[in-house]
Structure 1
C-alpha cells in the first residue's frame, strides 16, 4: 500500500508544478489519479490546492476509503449545496484533467463551482507522475520478477497445434496464480487491452485499432485485439507480449518462441531489434530528446532494409518505439515522432522495437527500463533470446 510519506512527496511535487503553471489547485476525479496521490481507488474526488493541505471526498466506499487514504482530511462527499463552501475565494483557477474527464463531469463541477476558471492540468499531472520514486521502482521490479517467472514456464505448456487463445489462457492462468491483478489501465481514449496478447504467424499481420506494433486478430470484431482461435504453426515466431500488474503497477515485456526453426529474414530482423534496444537503452539518459531517439531507431531499421516492417505491418506502422509505464500502460514519456521532450531521471519506459511481416510473423523484443545518468537500467531479469522448442 501507498505510504503517507510517499503520498506527501507526490503532492508536494504536484503543488510546485501547479504554482509554476499559475493554477490555484487541481481537482481530480479519474480513479487512478486519485489513487496515485491518495492511496485509495474508491469513488472519490481529490482537491489539491497549490498551497495547503489536500482534501479527499469519498462517495463509496467511505469506510474503505478512510482506511486506505493517506490524505489526512478524508471525509464523505458533501451535498451539492455544501460543496461550494469547501473552496475559498482564492481557488479561482482550478486544474481539471481534460484528457480523461467526461464533458458531463466537467459540466457538473462547473455548475457546483460557478465563477471558477477550469483549466487543463493533464500535461502537468502526467509529467509529475512520469518520474518514479525509489518506492515505485521497487513495485515495478517486483512486477518484472513475477512476469519473468511466468515466461520461464512457457516451454512447459507451449505445444504445436494449440490455438493462440489456449496459449494465452495458459499464460494468463499462471500470471493470475502468481498474484497478477489483470487491470491494464490505459489513459488514451479508444484504447483497451486484456492483459496482453499471444499471436503466431497466422494472425501477426492482422491490423486494428490498437496503437501498437502488433494487434492480433482477437476473438471477434467486438474484441479485435490479442489471441484468436487460429492454430499455432511450426517454424514460425510466436509472440507473447504481456503486462504484469501487481499492486497497481505495470511492467511490459515481450518474448518470442519457435517450434522448429526460423527463416533467415526473421533472424536478421531479430538481431536488428536487439541492436535498436541496445542503442536506446544506452541513451536513456536525462536530457535525451524522445523524438531523436525514435528517429535514430527508425534510421537503424532503414539501414537494415526493414523500414517498411518497423513497428507494424507495411502501411500500418506505429510512430513510436517506446512508451512510459507505471500505473497506466501509456504514461509519459513516449519515444515517438513529434514528442520533442527531454527525458528525466526516474522515468520508466517499455522499449519495444518490433518488425511485422504479414504471412511470416512478427519478431522483436520488449523490456522495461528506468532512465538514469548511466543509461537505461532494466527492471526485469530474463534473457532476450528466442526460445526454440
Structure 2
C-alpha cells in the first residue's frame, strides 16, 4: 500500500464538508481549508498535528519502529542481495533472479521511505521542492507494485514447471527472468506515472495532494482500481497458485515413490522433484508474509471512504476530542498508523524468511559469518603482534641493561 496515503485526509473534498461548514464558504472551499491549516497547524500536513496532539504515543511508536525497520532492512537486504546474486545460488534456485529483484526493490523502498518518515513522523518538509515532490510520489509506489508482480511472476513460473514439467523447462529458462523483470518494471512505471499529476508543493513547503473535485475524483477512481488489483487480487491469486503448487509437488513425490520404476528413471525424476521443494517453500513463505502484512493495510485504507471515519467540521485541535465525528476519526487514524507501521516490516524482514526456508541461503549466511570471524581474528592477531613489539623491545632492553650492570659490579 502506498504509504503516502497515510498523509492524506480521508474524504476531504468540498462535498464531504458540505453541511459541516458554513454555506458561505461556497466555491472558496480550498482557500478556507488552506487558511484553517495555516491558522491551526502552522501549515503542517493536517494529519501530523492531529496525531501529535491526540495520538502522541502512536507517533512515538512509529518513530521507533521505523528506525528498527531501517536498521534491520538495510543490513538484511544488502546481505540477501549479495547471496542471491551469487552464481552458485542462481544455479541452485531458478527463482534467484526474481529474489534479487525483490530485494533491490525493498532497498529502493526503504531509501525513499526516509523522506516520508521525516515528513509525517517529525514534521520536516523533506519533499518541499517542486519536481522532487512529484518524482518521489512516482518512485515511491514503483517498488510496492513491482514486488507484488515479481512474487506473482515466479509463482506462475513454478506453477507451469510443476503442472507441465517438460514445457515448464523451456518456460523457466534463466534468460527469460531478466526480460520478465524488465517488463514488470516498465509496466509499474506506467502504472505509477499518474501520481505525478496528483501532487504539488504547497505554500508551506510540503508535498500535498492537489485540491479540486475533478482531481480528487480521478485520483479516487485511479487509486482504488490500481491498488485493488495490486494489493488484493494479485496476492490472492499468488496465494492460491502457491497452495496448489505445493500440494501438487508433495502429491507428485508420493506417487513417484510408490511406483516401481527403473533405478535410473526413478533417480532422475526424484531428484528433479526434490528441487521443487526449497524454492516452492520460499515462495509460499514470502507470499504468506506479504499478504499478512499488506492485507490489513489495504483494509484500513479502504475504510477511509466510510462516512463514519471521515473528517469532522473545522475546529481547533483541543475541541476535537469532544466531537463525535472527530473521535471516530482519531480512533480510526490511530489504528491505521499502527497497522501501517507494522505492515512496513515486509520490506525489512525478508532475510529471515530466506534463512528459515532455504538451506542454501543458510549455508551462505554461515559462510559469511565464518569469513567475518576469520577477518576479526586476523585483525586481532595482527594488532596483538604490533602492540606486543614495543613491549618485547623494552623487556629485552631492560634485561640487557641488568646484565651490563651486573658485570660491571663484578669487575669493580
* TM-score, with structure 2 as normaliser: 0.22
Structure number with the higher strand fraction is 1
Larger radius of gyration: 2
Q: Whose relative contact order is higher, 1 or 2, with alpha carbons under 8 Å and at least 6 apart?
A: 2
* TM-score, with structure 1 as normaliser: 0.23
